[in-house]
Structure 1
Amino acid sequence: MDLLLNFNSISTLFFLLSLLQFSLLSSSSTLHPLAAHSANLHRNYTAISDFRLLNRRKLINCPPKNFFVKIDVISKSTSLLNEEFVNVTVSGIPNPSKDHWIAMVTPSNANVDGCSLNGFLYGQTGDFSELPLLCHYPVKAAYLRSDPDYLPCNNKGCVIPPVDGKCEQVTCSATLSFHIINFRTDVEFFLFDGGFVTPCLLYKSKTLSFQNPNAPLYGLISSIDSTATSMRLSWVSGDEEPQQVQYGEDGRIQTSQVSTFSQNDMCNSLLPSPAKDFGWHDPGFIHSAIMTQLKPSTTYSYKYGRDYVESGSVYILPDSGGECGVPYETYHQMPTSGKDQPWYSIEMASIHFTIISTEHDFTINSPQYEWMKNDMASVDRSRTPWLIFAGHRPMYTSIQGSLVIPPSVDPSFVAAVEPLLLQNKVDLVLFGHVHNYERTCSIFNNMCKGMPFKDINGIDTYDHNNYTAPLHAVIGMAGFTLDQFSEKIESWSLSRVSKFGYLRGHATKEKLSFEMVNAMTREVEDSFNIIKAQIP
């Protein structure tokens, strides 16, 4: 098969191996403009809405069926394209209501009825909502009132022939636009009444299929080392056979490694987990290829395609509804040493990042412990003066556990790993797991060893010329729900924000600057610096 056939139905993209610059500046930011402008990357912030809680609602009985209702979907083709906007018209409604809404569901055979047992399955996630729940979560949804002509019934229809020139049954219609991407499974649209809080099912559309369910799509590039001479390209396809990426002016080719995961790879307990049962969606096949011999600050074009349940986790919990990191590790491949060894290091500018897995064996003399000890000890601080350590479960948080939710801090993890942080003079420790933001003093063994001072802008500044201990920051403020702080404040806790947001920063060899940005308002909620004289 020649090259042209190999790249039939390919996707063509461009990437730039250089810093991106943005035009908008956060008014409350004190960071370097390249860092402050990064707010443009975070427009789609996370927030709780009635729709996001839809599968925690009871499905009530609807009024008697209306035989006049129709749902028509207008696509650019007889079958759905890889990406397009379709117009969905709902007609035959005699009495428009502000509570009418349309949902897009895939796969088309998904059950959108009420599922009384789902509540027990969701209990694994810490969600103990009232039963029953919707069996399947819609991909997208919108109120019919989003069409301004719907409630006033400006688009009228007559479904019963007129008598004496007067229509016997006038109905109303609404037309909404939905952005569709290739899910590789058929799609249907469902009409509901009762809003997102008390939904009931009225009608469903015919089944819609994609033109090419196996198309190679959703290319993602990521760095694999600190040299900027190689990049990993990952994409998803419905085809399990290896594919290729072609790049550069000389048309170099790399063949993909293919991986996927199944329902059997999801975690379980006594009951099937949501990820294994009603929350499952076929992921397709994830392709990954490494483009090598790249030159930094050079623009390349590339095109791609062609015409493990034993997770080793030290915590026996069906994390994330049973996903246990399997989809994440498969979709977003990191520069790790092997399968199910998700620890690695990478250097960016003046920072050495040591990334570990708190879910794998971290005890003294374990493979991961030996790796992190050797990695941090080998850092050349004259080249990368800053050392940042990161993992999932924190060492310090003000959020306590309960009878239902286990504590977030594992004392055995702290006892084994925290001495390494002090020994190697780690500057900053970043963790997630807890869904809020919290920053500590320079801390070791649950005691403040040093406090920041205020710079001329009133920003907390940690002086690591006189190093005492690392500071810790929990940055889990993008979780599904936020964890609220209690009135009890630990002496080592200097800043606490329970709002959705993200952390951004800027680094030189003498200074690290970070800001916690509120995703709703784009305002800076907390700032801190770390300073240190450059090593000659």
Structure 2
Amino acid sequence: MSGFRVVTRRNLSYCPDSSPLIQISLNPNSNLSDEENVTVTVSGVLNPQEHDWVAMISPANSDVSKCPLNEVLYAETGDLSKLPLLCHYPVKAQFMSNDPGYFNCTKKECKEYKDGKCLTTTCSGSLRFHVINIRTDIQFVLFAGGFDTPCVLTRSNPVNFANPKQPLYGHLSSIDSTGTSMRLTWVSGDEAPQQVQYGSGKTEPSQVTTFSQDDMKHAVLPSPAKEFGWHDPGFVHSAVMTGLQPSSIFSYRYGKPGSISVIEALTDEVNSGKVDSIFHIGDLSYATGFLVEWDFFLQLISPVASKVPYMTAIGNHERDYVDSGSIYITPDSGAKDKPWYSIEQASVHFTIISTEHDWSEKSEQYEWMKKDMANVDRSKTPWLIFMGHRPMYTSTSGIFSVDKKFVENVEPLLLDNKVDLALFGHVHNYERTCVVYRKECKAMPTMDDYGIETYDNRNYSAPVQAVIGMAGFTLDNFTNDVESTQDF
């Protein structure tokens, strides 16, 4: 039996000579992603020992000091060590000697000075732990004494996962030999039914199951899951995809319906104070003629729309009846209103147009957008963002292809008025261009050490354009024929 398996059964207490200078810091230290490498830094150690080690404990409130004094409870694990034992096991552990600088004290820090001389020097070291979303908060504990005689030196603060309800770890299983059905199973921290979306827009709701610690029945040799091995399993979701073609490839995604997961993510951002306003660039409720859907949509967005400005642009699915006044012949969203406007927020001027109303040269809307952008005071609002529903650039063909006349008429206005960013919807995916004009890249971004791309607009050449239609409805498939102006 490995030393690590044995340590998971030890009684633990704080080391008698533990120094108050010892600390554990984490990077990142909150809102962990679903898979992350966490750097654990131990500092303030007066006398580093070869057998100092760090464990990851979950849940963070696990009691690592006491355990039931009953050897039978541990027999099923194959551990016949003498009591006392540890009740909750470390999920992962590493010796601090994995950082050579720790034991050799190459990373020194003076904690106490007197007369310009250092009286107390401490050492530090760092380890990296691969962490996945296990839904409960985790904590890192520094031990001395190795695995044989462990004692606690200090603990980190608990660290949480950004989305403990995230649907994760989907896996497929066959239903029968026909190849026309497939079961998908995944785990989530959310007990509400979710769905799998597959093929050309088919959906199936999930069946949800779970189990509790009380379900872990005692046998002749009790399961560790009844006591020290227990961890919240979350909720198991399962759905069967039918009507598949044998020996074919199909795509799927699973979790909450898109609009629900998007609004929940937005709500978290709004509640954190990071969002000043929201812009929804057309196709708002997707009611498509079923008017009661508007009530459901308004209820859906109320957690965010009631707290920050919820600004909209008109798309081609707001009215959905023939002869609505649209410049397009399909049953889209025209009418005699004038749903174009501009607004300024902080250092940004937003120009929002309707791609469903006449935008041709000399039209009322064309003259308005020309005047609006020309009158922007760039000393007050140095950033100019243009928004409309139907895009000027997209890799998607067919019914979602670009209206060349729209581009010919309106794109020159963006260049003439030095628009920084143009945002569009309509296509149900995310696409971003380079700095582009007339299908020609005028500039490319530079990438910093954190992978963030930045454009230098001090030498303006054209706007960046982006399609941001990936929220709330079904996603479109990307084409393999992508023009060079698209940057994914």
TM-score w.r.t. length of structure 2: 0.50
Q: Which residue of 2 aligns with 1:101?
A: 53
Instruction: Check conservation: 2:9, 2:87, Cα contact below 8 A.
Output: no
**Equivalences for 1:509-524 in 2 at 5 Å?**
none
Instruction: Check conservation: 1:60, 1:198, Cα contact below 8 A.
Output: no
Instruction: Check conservation: 1:185, 1:213, Cα contact below 8 A.
Output: yes
Instruction: Check conservation: 2:30, 2:161, Cα contact below 8 A.
Output: no
> Which of residues 191, 196, 204 is equivalent to 2:155?
204
Deviations 1:80-101 (A, max 9, x none): 2221111110000011111000
State the shift of 1:126 in Å: 5.4
Does residue 1:260 correspond to 2:260, yes or no?
Answer: no
Rounded Cα–Cα distance in structure 1 between residues aligned with 2:54 and 2:25: 12
Q: Which residue of 1 aligns with 2:177?
A: 226
**Equivalences for 1:212-361 in 2 at 5 Å?**
212-248=163-199, 250-269=200-219, 273-306=223-256, 307=261
**Equivalences for 1:112-261 in 2 at 5 Å?**
112-124=64-76, 127-160=79-112, 162-248=113-199, 250-261=200-211
Are the structure 2 counterparts of residues 265 and 92 from structure 1 closer, same or farther at C-alpha, using a change threshold of 3 Å? same
Are the structure 2 counterparts of residues 192 and 125 from structure 1 closer, same or farther at C-alpha, using a change threshold of 3 Å? closer
SS in 2 for 1:169: strand
Instruction: Check conservation: 1:216, 1:236, Cα contact below 8 A.
Output: yes
Rounded Cα–Cα distance in structure 1 between residues aligned with 2:126 and 2:136: 24
Instruction: Check conservation: 1:79, 1:210, Cα contact below 8 A.
Output: yes
Are the structure 2 counterparts of residues 144 and 171 from structure 1 closer, same or farther at C-alpha, using a change threshold of 3 Å? same
Are the structure 2 counterparts of residues 212 and 62 from structure 1 closer, same or farther at C-alpha, using a change threshold of 3 Å? same
Q: Which residue of 2 aligns with 1:52?
A: 5
Deviates more, 1:231-240 or 1:118-127: 118-127
State the shift of 1:175 in Å: 0.8
SS in 2 for 1:168: strand
Rounded Cα–Cα distance in structure 2 between residues aligned with 1:204 and 1:154: 23
> Percent of aligned pairs with the same residue?
56
Rounded Cα–Cα distance in structure 1 between residues aligned with 2:30 and 2:189: 20
State the shift of 1:121 in Å: 1.2
Q: Which residue of 2 aligns with 1:89?
A: 41
State the shift of 1:61 in Å: 6.2
Rounded Cα–Cα distance in structure 2 between residues aligned with 1:182 and 1:97: 32
SS in 1 for 2:75: helix
Rounded Cα–Cα distance in structure 1 between residues aligned with 2:137 and 2:77: 28
Instruction: Check conservation: 1:51, 1:196, Cα contact below 8 A.
Output: yes
Deviations 1:189-246 (A, max 9, x none): 1000111222111111111111111111111112222222222111111111110011
TM-score w.r.t. length of structure 1: 0.46
Rounded Cα–Cα distance in structure 1 between residues aligned with 2:76 and 2:39: 38
SS in 2 for 1:287: strand
Are the structure 2 counterparts of residues 233 and 118 from structure 1 closer, same or farther at C-alpha, using a change threshold of 3 Å? farther
State the shift of 1:296 in Å: 3.2
Are the structure 2 counterparts of residues 159 and 118 from structure 1 closer, same or farther at C-alpha, using a change threshold of 3 Å? farther
Instruction: Check conservation: 1:190, 1:203, Cα contact below 8 A.
Output: yes
State the shift of 1:263 in Å: 1.4
Matching residue's letter, 2:210: T
Q: Over alpha carbons, which structure has the higher Rg?
A: 2
Q: Which residue of 2 aligns with 1:69?
A: 22
Instruction: Check conservation: 2:12, 2:64, Cα contact below 8 A.
Output: no
Are the structure 2 counterparts of residues 78 and 58 from structure 1 closer, same or farther at C-alpha, using a change threshold of 3 Å? closer
Q: Which runs of 5+ in 2 are unaligned?
A: 262-488
Rounded Cα–Cα distance in structure 2 between residues aligned with 1:118 and 1:303: 47
Instruction: Check conservation: 1:186, 1:207, Cα contact below 8 A.
Output: yes
Matching residue's letter, 2:242: T
Q: Which residue of 1 aligns with 2:410?
A: none
Rounded Cα–Cα distance in structure 2 between residues aligned with 1:115 and 1:109: 14
Looking at secondary structure, tell me which structure has more helix per residue. 2
**Equivalences for 1:450-461 in 2 at 5 Å?**
none
Instruction: Check conservation: 1:80, 1:210, Cα contact below 8 A.
Output: yes
Deviations 1:125-162 (A, max 9, x none): 554321111111011111111112111111111111x2
State the shift of 1:267 in Å: 1.1
Matching residue's letter, 2:172: I
Matching residue's letter, 2:8: N
* Bigger relative contact order, structure 1 or 2 (CA pairs below 8 A, ≥6 apart): 1
Equivalent residues, number: 257
Instruction: Check conservation: 2:108, 2:122, Cα contact below 8 A.
Output: yes
SS in 1 for 2:117: coil
Instruction: Check conservation: 1:56, 1:130, Cα contact below 8 A.
Output: no
Instruction: Check conservation: 1:192, 1:202, Cα contact below 8 A.
Output: yes
Rounded Cα–Cα distance in structure 1 between residues aligned with 2:148 and 2:179: 50
Rounded Cα–Cα distance in structure 2 between residues aligned with 1:85 and 1:111: 25
Rounded Cα–Cα distance in structure 1 between residues aligned with 2:84 and 2:175: 45
Instruction: Check conservation: 2:75, 2:221, Cα contact below 8 A.
Output: no
Are the structure 2 counterparts of residues 188 and 66 from structure 1 closer, same or farther at C-alpha, using a change threshold of 3 Å? same
Instruction: Check conservation: 2:50, 2:103, Cα contact below 8 A.
Output: yes
> Which of residues 62, 68, 83 is equivalent to 1:110?
62
Matching residue's letter, 1:92: G
Matching residue's letter, 1:292: T
Deviations 1:468-515 (A, max 9, x none): xxxxxxxxxxxxxxxxxxxxxxxxxxxxxxxxxxxxxxxxxxxxxxxx
Instruction: Check conservation: 1:55, 1:134, Cα contact below 8 A.
Output: yes
Deviations 1:261-311 (A, max 9, x none): 11121111589753222221111100001122222332222111012xxxx
Instruction: Check conservation: 1:242, 1:258, Cα contact below 8 A.
Output: yes
Instruction: Check conservation: 1:118, 1:133, Cα contact below 8 A.
Output: no
Instruction: Check conservation: 2:6, 2:81, Cα contact below 8 A.
Output: no
Instruction: Check conservation: 2:179, 2:246, Cα contact below 8 A.
Output: yes
